[in-house]
């Protein structure tokens, strides 16, 4: 195969990986602060994807325009979910939390199935078939837009956590729960905000992903798994880690699809996960836990 | 008396902070030996190294003639050293009797025999009437006694007690002193204890080691220790002895 | 042996168990074919849930990838049967060690490298996914097009080759469930059972009590995997087909563990009760939907999810512990 093909695939993988990274960032933020593993993460993303599809088919609104509205809707969804359902479960054993979120995932996936039916849906934008050409390298325009939007959204989130008071308070909660209580932070509200932000990440990622892949109601579990793989590879709770992990997994999958067969591509992602768990359990960019 | 446990220049540091610095002492077989010192003196770290919860950076720990430093906690228990935890760690959802039975199963693989042994020990520790209670519902003094019973159930030659008197009322402390002394006298059990309750230390220990900032500042009989100027200044000073 | 099985049991629970068992033995004479299939499904989940419970309920190791042992068991026995005509009971002799070895491999990596808690759970998912994708591309087992067992009308039930009518399968899975229940009870009352509970409750305290936690966690994974393997063999011969997507998929793993969690993790009767509740619920919903002429794919699942949600919110320890207290047959402190 000519070298350009590899370049094309790798760059495509990086761009898709950025969107994956944004999705995984949501999981990472939620786990890092609330300490709950969101097993309904993929299902939350399918909600966002269907909203994007619906907005496009009914109102001809481009997913790029819908990015912020969808993220906002998902923020409200996540916030409400934390307040209403997840909060009482924070101190419960892991398997109980797991069951709660699995129940939620089942409800979401099948509600989508009732509303939209089992068929795959996609968004056919005007630029769906466009591409940019840089010398011999050809890149899908949709992937470039998706990747760029993912970077912008991530940067905004970074800025929120670093620069705003609320963001700093949330980080304080993650570092030291008791300490946060002692200094009088409203931990419950911060947790709800965090869950909302995590949901907003996954919402934004979902809006971008419809530019690249089709959506079906049963897509959830595989994206939940993908998010786990990315977050653990990058380091749970590390924000740059989620992005790096996303890019790494995106490129790995793209190359595996090219060199082997597309249906086996997630096997390579899982291989990376197992190696990281065994040899660098804190993840590539994670801090070593004491 | 022969040495059951001896430490030679044992050190441990955590991220640059020296928790235990070249500590060495010898506990004779059948003795009751106390380690005292202010908070942060390195007592629990010392215990954790003997019990195998953490490995020492330097030095040697020899038990019954064989080096044990660096062995895992379970291997050390099987060699004959049992411990209690400063912050008690019973098996919370299990009954008192099951907690102790688990300890007894180490030497008595037959569940019936282990349960019998557990009941004997529960009698000794005044917990027999509470044997059906779930461990997490016990009061702190009962949890401390439960820890002692579970440790004893593993039939140790050396018992490590990490502040078992803390949080006990004076009458309960006296009762624990009586129980421990009887165990020591009847079966020749060697006891190494970390303790803040000086009254219990004076009543029990034949020898006392004083740690401060990870180093030994004195060792001797309880009487000489309480009059040692260095000890009085660093540890006992503020308290009325 | 018998004495050991029955010591310490409240007489009332013996009576209740005997009644339940009697009802289950007599069931084929009273129920129609559809209900019999539902009962088979319930017992299948009760059995597999019991097997999972050994690892999570007793030893506290959360496996979210138990489908790997179902899949391995099913594929080993079915492949031996289809390719070489080996009877499933002999195939089981190969399936059990293979599943146990897979469990040992995963357990060894996890426990030696200190992968615990959520990370352990995700590692088990990763290996199940590995197996799924691997089998999807393995031609010996027909890859993703699926492995089919020959289905013919049999003049009589052939128990040795597990070919026959649902009644035969019903009694096979009933017997297996009884054996698994008895095995779990024996294990829980033995030294290894107590050591598992100690590890589940507090691993560091367990080590301080002299328990070689690595070894006993390995036993838990291997025994759980071995017991689960039979569920796979049964699945293969009852349904006569195997697809990697179905037997290794995450939804199969979740299906196995919902029963014991709903019933009560760590209890002996929880997995059985949970299977009745969950499968009963799902089938009732299906029947009601059909009766009303509703054909809305997903509607039953949504309702199922809501019921699950309600149970987990209202009964965090599962259905069995409070029910057992009411019946006066609580499983003393475990």
The answer to whether A118 faces chain C, any CB pair under 8 Å, is yes
Q: Is residue C332 part of a domain?
A: no
Domain range holding B65?
1-26+53-69
Q: Which residues contact B12 (CB under 8 A, 6 or more apart)?
A: B18, B19, B20, B42, B45, B49, B54, B56, B57
In a domain, C334, yes or no: no
b (16+ CB within 10 A) / e for A221-247 = bebbbbbbbbbbbbbbbbbebbbbbbb
Domain assignment present for residue B107? The answer is: no
Place of tokens 């080096």: B67
* Chain C hits for B151, Cβ within 8 Å: 208-209
In the predicted structure, residue B22 carries a pLDDT above the cut 70? yes
In CATH, what number is assigned to the domain containing residue C313? 1.10.3470
In angstroms, the Cα distances linking B137 to A91, A92, B132, B141, B143 are 18, 18, 11, 12, 9
A289 located within any domain:
no
Task: Identify the three-state secondary structure at position A283.
Answer: coil
Higher pLDDT, C182 or B1: C182
Q: Which residues of C touch B73 (CB under 8 A)?
A: 204, 207-208
Residues of B in contact with C190 (CB under 8 A): 111
Structure confidence by residue, pLDDT tens digits, B85-123: 989 999 999 999 999 999 999 999 999 999 999 999 999
Q: Is residue A183 part of a domain?
A: yes
Q: Do B53 and C204 touch (CB under 8 A)?
A: yes
Number of structural domains in chain C? 1
The stretches in chain C having pLDDT less than 50 are 1, 333-334
Q: Is C164 exposed, middle or buried (0-12, 13-18, 19+ CB in 10 A)?
A: middle
Of A94, A102, A263, nearest to C136 by CB-CB distance is A263
Q: Are A273 and C122 an interchain contact pair (Cβ–Cβ within 8 Å)?
A: yes
Q: Which of residues 210-229 of C touch B (CB under 8 A)?
A: 210-213
pLDDT given for residue B57 in this prediction: 92
A236 and A32 in contact (C-beta within 8 Å)? Answer: yes
For C293, counting Cβ atoms within 10 Å of its Cβ (0-12 exposed, 13-18 middle, 19+ buried), the class is exposed
Residue B65 domain-assigned? Answer: yes
pLDDT in tens, B26-37: 999 999 999 998
Q: How far is it, in rounded angstroms, from Cα A126 to Cα C48? A: 51
Residue B159 lies in a domain: no
At residue B236, the pLDDT reads: 65
Instruction: Check: CB of residue A146 under 8 Å from CB of residue A15.
Output: yes
Q: What is the CATH number of the domain that holds A148?
A: 1.10.3470
B101 within domain boundaries: no
**Residue pLDDT, tens place only, A67-115:** 999 999 999 999 999 999 998 888 888 888 888 998 999 999 999 999 9
Question: Which residues of chain C neighbour B92 with C-beta distances below 8 Å?
Answer: 201-202
Residue B129, beta-bridge partner list: none
**Secondary structure class of B58 (helix, strand, coil):** strand
ipTM: 0.92
- Decide: A240 and A285 in contact? Cβ < 8 Å: yes
- Among residues C131, C122, C95, C124, the alpha carbon closest in space to that of C107 is found at C124
Q: A56-75, pLDDT tens digit by residue?
A: 999 988 888 899 999 999 99
Count chain B–chain C contacts defined by CB atoms under 8 A.
86
pLDDT of residue C94: 95
Q: Which distant-in-sequence residues (6+ apart) come within 8 Å of C328 by Cβ?
A: C10, C12
B94 touches chain C (CB under 8 A): yes
CA nearest to A153, candidates A54, A224, A39, A239: A239
Check: CB of residue C184 under 8 Å from CB of residue C54. yes
Cα B103 from Cα B95, distance rounded (Å): 13
CB contact under 8 A, A99 and C312: yes
**Is there a domain that residue B2 lies in?**
yes
- How far away is chain C from the Cα of B203, in angstroms, using its nearest Cα? 27
CA distance linking residue B174 with residue B199, whole number of Å: 9
Residue B170 inside a domain? The answer is: no
Which residues of chain C approach chain A closer than 8 Å at the C-beta? 56, 62, 64, 109, 113-115, 117-119, 121-123, 125-127, 129-130, 133-134, 136-137, 144, 250-251, 254, 257-258, 261-262, 265, 296-299, 301-302, 304-306, 308-309, 312-313, 316
By DSSP bridging, strand B158-162 and strand B81-83 are parallel
Name the residue with tokens 């309600």: C310
Please check whether residue C34 lies inside any domain of the structure: yes
The mean pLDDT values, 10 residues at a time, for chain A of 290 residues are 82 91 92 88 95 92 90 95 90 84 92 91 82 82 88 90 88 82 84 93 93 90 90 84 91 88 82 86 66
Termini Cα distance of chain C: 22
In a domain, C168, yes or no: yes
How many domains would you assign to chain B? 1
- Asked whether residue A285 is assigned to any structural domain, the reply reads no
- Tell me the chain B residues in contact with residue C209 when contact means C-beta distances shorter than 8 Å: 74, 77, 82, 102-103, 106, 150-151, 153-154
Q: Does residue B134 carry a pLDDT above 90?
A: yes
Q: Return d(Cα A220, Cα A209) in angstroms, integer.
A: 13
| Pairs of residues, one from chain A and one from chain C, whose beta carbons lie less than 8 Å apart | 119
Cα(A51)–Cα(A115) distance, integer angstroms? 12
Residue C10, pLDDT score: 64
């Amino acid at each position: 195969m000519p070298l350009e093909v590899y370049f094309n695939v790798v760059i495509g993988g990086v761009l898709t990986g950025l969107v994956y990274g944004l999705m995984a960032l949501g999981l990472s933020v939620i786990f890092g602060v609330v300490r709950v593993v969101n097993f309904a993460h993929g299902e939350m993303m399918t909600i966002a994807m269907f909203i994007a599809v619906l907005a496009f088919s009914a109102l001809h609104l481009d997913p790029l325009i819908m990015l912020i509205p969808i993220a906002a809707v998902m923020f409200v969804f996540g916030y409400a979910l934390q307040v209403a359902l997840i909060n009482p479960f924070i101190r419960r054993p892991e398997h109980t939390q797991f069951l709660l979120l699995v129940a939620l995932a089942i409800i979401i996936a099948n509600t989508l199935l009732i509303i939209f039916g089992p068929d795959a849906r996609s968004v056919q934008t005007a630029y769906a078939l466009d591409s940019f050409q840089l010398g011999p390298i050809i890149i899908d325009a949709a992937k470039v837009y998706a990747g760029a939007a993912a970077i912008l959204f991530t940067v905004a989130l970074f800025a929120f956590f670093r620069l705003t008071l609320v963001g700093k308070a949330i980080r304080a909660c993650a570092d030291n729960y008791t300490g946060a209580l002692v200094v009088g932070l409203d931990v419950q509200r911060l947790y709800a905000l965090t869950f909302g932000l995590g949901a907003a990440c996954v919402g934004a990622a979902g809006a971008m992903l419809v530019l690249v892949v089709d959506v079906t109601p049963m897509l959830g579990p595989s994206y939940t798994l993908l998010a786990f793989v990315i977050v653990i590879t990058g380091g749970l709770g590390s924000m740059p880690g989620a992005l790096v992990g996303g890019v790494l997994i995106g490129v790995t999958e793209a190359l595996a699809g090219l060199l082997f067969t597309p249906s086996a591509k997630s096997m390579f992602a899982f291989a990376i996960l197992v190696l990281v768990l065994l040899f660098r359990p804190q993840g590539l960019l994670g801090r070593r836990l004491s | 008396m022969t040495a059951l446990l001896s430490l030679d220049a044992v050190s441990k540091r955590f991220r640059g902070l020296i928790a235990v610095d070249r500590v060495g002492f010898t506990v004779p077989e059948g003795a009751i030996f106390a380690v005292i010192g202010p908070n942060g003196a390195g007592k629990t770290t010392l215990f954790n190294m003997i019990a195998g919860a953490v490995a020492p950076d330097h030095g040697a720990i020899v038990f019954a003639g064989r080096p044990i430093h660096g062995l895992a906690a379970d291997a050390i228990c099987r060699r004959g050293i049992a411990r209690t935890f400063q912050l008690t760690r019973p098996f919370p959802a299990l009954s008192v009797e099951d907690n102790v039975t688990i300890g007894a199963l180490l030497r008595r693989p037959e569940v019936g025999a282990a349960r019998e042994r557990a009941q004997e020990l529960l009698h000794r520790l005044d917990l027999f009437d509470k044997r059906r209670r779930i461990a997490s519902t016990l009061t702190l003094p009962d949890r401390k006694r439960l820890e002692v019973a579970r440790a004893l159930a593993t039939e140790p030659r050396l018992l490590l007690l990490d502040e078992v008197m803390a949080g006990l009322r004076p009458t309960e402390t006296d009762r624990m002193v009586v129980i421990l002394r009887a165990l020591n006298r009847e079966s020749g059990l060697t006891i190494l204890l970390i303790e803040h309750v000086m009254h219990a230390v004076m009543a029990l220990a034949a020898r006392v080691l004083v740690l401060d900032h990870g180093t030994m500042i004195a060792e001797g009989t309880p009487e000489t220790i309480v009059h040692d100027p260095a000890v009085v200044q660093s540890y006992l000073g503020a308290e009325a002895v | 042996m018998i004495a050991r099985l029955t010591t310490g049991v409240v007489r009332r629970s013996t009576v209740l168990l005997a009644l339940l068992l009697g009802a289950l033995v007599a069931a084929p004479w009273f129920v129609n074919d559809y209900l019999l299939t539902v009962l088979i499904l319930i017992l299948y989940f009760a059995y597999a849930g019991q097997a999972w419970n050994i690892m999570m309920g007793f030893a506290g190791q959360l496996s979210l990838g138990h489908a790997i042992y179902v899949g391995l068991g099913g594929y080993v026995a079915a492949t031996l049967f289809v390719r070489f005509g080996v009877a499933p009971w002999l195939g089981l002799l190969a399936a059990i060690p293979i599943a146990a070895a897979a469990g040992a491999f995963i357990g060894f990596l996890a426990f030696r490298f200190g992968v615990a808690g959520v990370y352990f759970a995700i590692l088990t998912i990763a290996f199940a996914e590995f197996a799924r994708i691997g089998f999807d591309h393995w031609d010996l087992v027909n890859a993703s097009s699926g492995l089919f067992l020959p289905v013919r009308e049999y003049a009589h039930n052939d128990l040795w080759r597990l070919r026959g009518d649902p009644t035969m399968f019903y009694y096979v899975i009933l017997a297996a469930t009884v054996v698994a229940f008895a095995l779990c009870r024996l294990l829980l009352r033995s030294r290894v059972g107590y050591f598992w509970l100690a590890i589940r409750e507090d691993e560091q305290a367990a080590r301080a009590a002299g328990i070689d936690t690595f070894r006993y966690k390995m036993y838990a994974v291997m025994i759980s995997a071995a017991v689960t393997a039979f569920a796979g063999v049964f699945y293969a011969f009852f349904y006569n087909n195997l697809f990697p997507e179905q037997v290794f998929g995450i939804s199969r793993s979740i299906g196995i563990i919902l029963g014991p969690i709903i019933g009560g993790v760590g209890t002996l009767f929880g997995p059985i009760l949970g299977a009745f509740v969950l499968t009963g619920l799902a089938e009732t919903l299906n029947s009601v939907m059909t009766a009303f002429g509703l054909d809305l794919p997903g509607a039953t699942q949504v309702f199922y999810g809501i019921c699950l949600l309600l149970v987990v919110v209202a009964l965090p320890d599962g259905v069995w512990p409070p029910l057992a207290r009411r019946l006066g047959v609580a499983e003393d402190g475990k």
